[in-house]
A and B are shown apart, each in its own frame.
Chain A
Amino acid sequence: MSSLSPRLATLARTVRPVLAIVLCIALVMLVVLGLRIQSALVGLRSEATDNLHWNLSQLEVDIVRLSEEIRVAQIDPAAPLKELRKRHDLFYSRAQNAIQGTGFSTPGLEDLSTALSAMLAEYLAVETPAIDGSDAALRADLPRMGTHLETLRDGLRKTSIQIIERLAKISDDRRAALSLLVSQVALATFVTIGMLACLLTMVLLSSRAAQREARHTAQVSRQLRATVDSALDAIVVTDDKGCILQFNGSAESTFGYKRAEVLGRRAAGLILPPEIAAEPGDAAPLRRVDAGRFQTRALHRAGRSFPVELSISSAEGDEGRIYTAFLHDISDRLAAEAEMTRARDEALAAERAKTDFLAVMSHEMRTPLNGVIASLEIAARKAANPEQAHFIALAQDSAQLLLRHADDVLDITRLESGGMKLVAQDFDLETHLANLVEGLGPVCTERGIGLRFDMLTPSARLHGDAFRLGQIVQNFLSNAIKFVETGGITVEAEVTPLVADMREVEIRVIDTGPGIAAQDQDRIFQDFVMLDPSFRRSGGGAGLGLAIARRIATAMGGEIGVESAPGEGSCFWLRLPLALAQEAGGAPPPVAEAPPLPVLDILVVEDNATNRAVMAEMLRQSGQRVEMAVDGEKGAQAARARRFDVILMDISMPVMDGLAATRLIRADGASRQARIVAVTAHSLPADLERFRAAGMDDVLVKPISSGALAQVLRGDSVTAAMAVSATLDLARIDDMRATLGAAAFQRIAQDCLADMHRLASLALQAAAASGGLEHLCHEAAGGAAVIGAERLRAHYSRAEGEIRQGQAGAARERILRDTDRLLAEAETALRALT
């Protein structure tokens, strides 16, 4: 039914015009036929003829009665002729009807009526004079008149019969025509009624279809309304002038308006912010029609604007185009996104902090190690007996191992932050590897493992970081030595040409160890992964070896990998692209002869006896005059009692820490002008600032290298503590970059520079207002020191010193005069560097 009805409706729509036309034609025919019937009826009714039959018979009757009178008059000559004359007159009168009247001139009878008229006229013309004549003449003429009348009667009869026949035929024709007409009318009527019936049926069908359509539309409309009302998105429908037509429940809660309040009002300015509404012609939102989702701002009834995501679609409605906007408040989502961004930033910061922490930790570990190793070295030299020497040697081995672990971790952090530097040099591959393998020979012999080195191709002199290459191979080898119980280790090397003077070096370390399962072969190159934790005890290592090797190989543009199967040994390989050496041989770079250090009075404040001893040893070796103090308080006392050129101050100490001691020394006493250098494993920028703030001039980061120590001692220190040689402390910057990694340093430098700008403007204000300048200078000097902006640091330190010595005017003058210039200079120099 549902499929039939539309087809019927379509058919009805197609046929309707045809039916209408046919109906019109039928109606016109009916009218025409009706008119024709009416005219036929009128013709019948207003028949202009007397009854022709009657006339003919009366004519004959009159003739008969006249001929009777003629015969009577012939039989009785004495009879009066009055009756004869009357009969003639009556006949005459009757004949005149035929001659003059229209009664005989019926259409179709003209010839016969004419003949009849002629006959009658001929008789009357002949006989009337006789009738009107004398009686005697009339009597004499009677026989001829009788014969004449008899002739007329015969002719009349014949003509009458013809007329009757003709009339009958005409009547028949007319009846037939009328009958046909009536039939046609009946047919037309039938057709009309049929058409009307068809039209009625169609109208009924259409009406039912329309009702069904209306019901369907109403249902769809209800469903749509329900859908719109229950939609989670706010739905706003507007006409092409921007007036609101629909506003669902979600829209009510989103915008705070009731539906009734907004219907018919313009959306622009009401729920769209004025700046969007202000765009000419409201065209701006319309440009986004059917263009997918986009974000904009909307207005709440309370006046606040909030972010929404919306899409607009348009459709042709009955009264112009309508626009439907689906939208929802995305404040929460944006807030969540902001939160996520913040969390991610925090996570990244935490990651950076971890890296920083690892860097610091490595230093922290290396500081005591430094002490241990140095002490052991000294102890070994002074060993009293072989037993002591043996244990000291054991301790030294352990200390070296520990140092290696610390270095591993440091390597990881450096590699991670891109801080690893490759040092390219020319070397012979075979010689380099042979030396390396040979060095491990004794260990292998000890464990009963065979170790062999095969150079499979002719060797080559190459240009690259031989040390790092060796580090990787050594890592492979030490792993192999750890795992091989019986059998042997083979090192194979190949050099194959790549392009031009590039060569690919492949080095394989093949062992007969237990092998590695396929699923573990990727994992072993990850950080802190050890397949058998038990080896930590026996073999040592933090599980970082292969991870470091992989990073180094990657940094050198090569790769490493393993081919292995459980029970069949392993083959670790390294492939590196290396350039051929440009020059055969090549002398090692000349070592710069360091100028002798000035002899200074140095106070070492250090609570840790070992470190104290080591530092004292190192200083004494370079000929310095050294005094010791075991904590901050004692250090401060010593410094105030006697003038020192340099004070090396540990930070974390019992009784009084380095910072407090420094403040005391700076406050008063003989050594207030001394160069105070913090000695610490704390290498974080915040710490450095703190040291500067306490009045320290420099920082030595543990483990202390003799070079760094020499620099501190040489650094124009005592006599010109404030003298500055360069804009930037490049040594310090290099040290920091090596320690923190280039990226981390750059970050810190950026932050510090921003801070320096802030401090500079504060300092300028304070200098103008003459208040709080000392503290600002101190802080700024610390900040400048962190990023190695030496001249700027000296500038602030000097100002600080001047204020401290009661020369505030000079300090203010200095700040106002030089700050901007020096800051710009430092910034330019730093940017050039990074």
Chain B
Amino acid sequence: MTLFLRALATAFVLTAASGPAARAEDFAAPTGDVILTVTGKIASTNAEGQLALDEAQLAALPQTSFTTTTTWTDGPQTFQGVLLKDVIAASGATGGTITLTAANDYSISMPMADVASDGPLLAYLMNGKPMALRDKGPVWMVYPYDANEAYRTEEIYSRSIWQLTTIDFGG
């Protein structure tokens, strides 16, 4: 009984903590180059119906980093950035599907439910340096492939979108 109540309480707290209204932050207009634009069902905006974020604003959000190899690079790489779940939390995003679009017009869709606590990471620093467009920057959504076998699948590889420019919460 106690266990059940505790589990219920925890679920409530978690729900409350991840509730869109509770943690949605107010974002000022970007001052630097916008490297990521968030659109769709979001609570916070700093432009017309969208949230445009420069590097400084991304750096102001909760930071996460890990080191992993990828199939596209040679040797282990250290990535730093903001977890997608933190972006969702910060923007107060809701909806069932996330659509991500790259500068090269590559686009993927994934269900909100697939967003986990350890990934994906919206990395904007690789080995401590900002990534240029030639280095799959400015934002590259990566997973800790080495740490979790579940991320070494074709689907995850296809979701590892680089040169990311826009995130749209819809459906």
Chain A positions within 8 Å of B, measured between CB atoms, are 45-51, 58, 62, 86, 89-90, 92-94, 96-97, 100-103
Contact = CB atoms under 8 A, between A and B. Distances in A.
Nearest to B72: A101
A93 B71 contact: no
Nearest to A42: B149
Interface in B134-171: 134-136, 149, 152-154, 157-158, 162-163
B2 interface: no
A100 B71 contact: no
B163 A51 contact: no
Interface in B37-82: 70-74
Given A101-B71, A103-B71, 17 more contacts: A46-B149, A48-B152, A49-B71, A50-B157, A51-B158, A62-B104, A86-B103, A86-B133, A89-B133, A90-B133, A90-B163, A92-B134, A93-B104, A93-B135, A94-B104, A100-B72, A101-B73
A49 B152 CA distance: 10
A624 B153 CA distance: 169
Contact of B73 (A47, A51, A62, A100): A100
A51 B153 CA distance: 11
Nearest to B153: A45
Given A45-B153, A86-B103, A50 B71 contact: yes
B134 A93 contact: yes
B9 interface: no
Task: Tell which of A49, A62, A97 has the most Cβ of chain B within 10 Å.
Answer: A97
A93 B152 contact: no
Contacts of B116: none
Most buried by A among B70, B71, B136, B153: B71
Size range of the chain B interface in the assembly: 20 to 34
A96 to B, nearest CB: 7
7 contacts: A46-B149, A50-B71, A86-B133, A96-B136, A97-B72, A103-B71, A103-B72
Contacts of B106: 58
Nearest to A89: B133
B7 interface: no
Nearest to B131: A93
B17 interface: no
A-B pairs, top 4 by smallest CB distance, nearest first, are A101-B72, A89-B133, A100-B74, A92-B134
A766 B110 CA distance: 148
Interface of B: 70-74, 103-104, 106, 132-136, 149, 152-154, 157-158, 162-163
A47 B154 contact: yes
Contacts of B133: 86, 89-90, 92-93
A273 B133 CA distance: 118
Contacts of A50: 71-72, 157-158
Contacts of B162: 93
Contacts of A101: 70-74
A53 to B, nearest CB: 12
A120 to B, nearest CB: 13
Nearest to B104: A90
Contacts of A47: 154
Contacts of A45: 153
B154 A89 contact: no
A50 B158 CA distance: 8
A45 B133 CA distance: 30
A101 B135 CA distance: 12
Contacts, number: 54
Contact of B153 (A46, A89, A97, A102): A46
Contacts of A90: 103-104, 133, 163
Nearest to A54: B158
B105 to A, nearest CB: 9
A97 B135 CA distance: 10
A6 to B, nearest CB: 60
Contacts of A102: 71-72
Nearest to B160: A50
Contacts of B132: 89
Contacts of A93: 104, 133-136, 162-163
A101 B132 CA distance: 17
Nearest to A101: B72
Contacts of B163: 90, 93
B134 to A, nearest CB: 4
B69 to A, nearest CB: 8
A51 B154 contact: yes
A86 B73 CA distance: 21
B147 to A, nearest CB: 14
A51 B71 CA distance: 11
A174 to B, nearest CB: 16
B132 to A, nearest CB: 7
Nearest to A124: B134
A45 B71 CA distance: 15
A21 to B, nearest CB: 39
A188 to B, nearest CB: 29
A227 B74 CA distance: 95
Contacts of B73: 100-101
A93 B152 CA distance: 22
A46 B134 contact: no
A45 B72 CA distance: 18
Contacts of B135: 93, 96
Nearest to B75: A100
Given A62-B104, A86-B133, A93-B133, A48 B71 contact: yes
Contacts of B136: 93, 96
A49 B136 CA distance: 18
Contacts of A49: 71
Contacts of B71: 48-50, 101-103
Nearest to A88: B134
A45 B153 CA distance: 6
Nearest to A49: B71
Nearest to A97: B72
A654 to B, nearest CB: 144
Contacts of B158: 50-51
Contacts of B74: 100-101
Contacts of A97: 72
A692 B163 CA distance: 167
Nearest to A48: B71
B44 to A, nearest CB: 29
B70 A46 contact: no
B25 to A, nearest CB: 31
Contacts of A46: 149, 152-153
Contacts of A86: 103, 133
B157 A96 contact: no
Nearest to A92: B134
A62 B103 CA distance: 12
Contacts of A100: 72-74
B52 to A, nearest CB: 19
A78 B149 CA distance: 52
A92 to B, nearest CB: 4
A102 B163 CA distance: 19
A230 B104 CA distance: 108
Nearest to B102: A90
A51 B134 CA distance: 20
A100 B153 CA distance: 20
A544 B80 CA distance: 156
A93 B126 CA distance: 14
Contacts of B104: 58, 62, 90, 93-94
A50 B162 CA distance: 13
B142 to A, nearest CB: 13
Nearest to B137: A93
A62 B70 CA distance: 21
In this complex, the member of B70, B72, B136, B157 whose beta carbon has the largest number of chain A beta carbons within 10 angstroms is B72
Contact of A89 (B70, B134, B152, B157): B134
Nearest to B162: A93
B154 A96 contact: no
A48 B74 CA distance: 13
Nearest to A99: B74
A100 B73 CA distance: 5
A90 B106 CA distance: 11
A58 B163 CA distance: 14
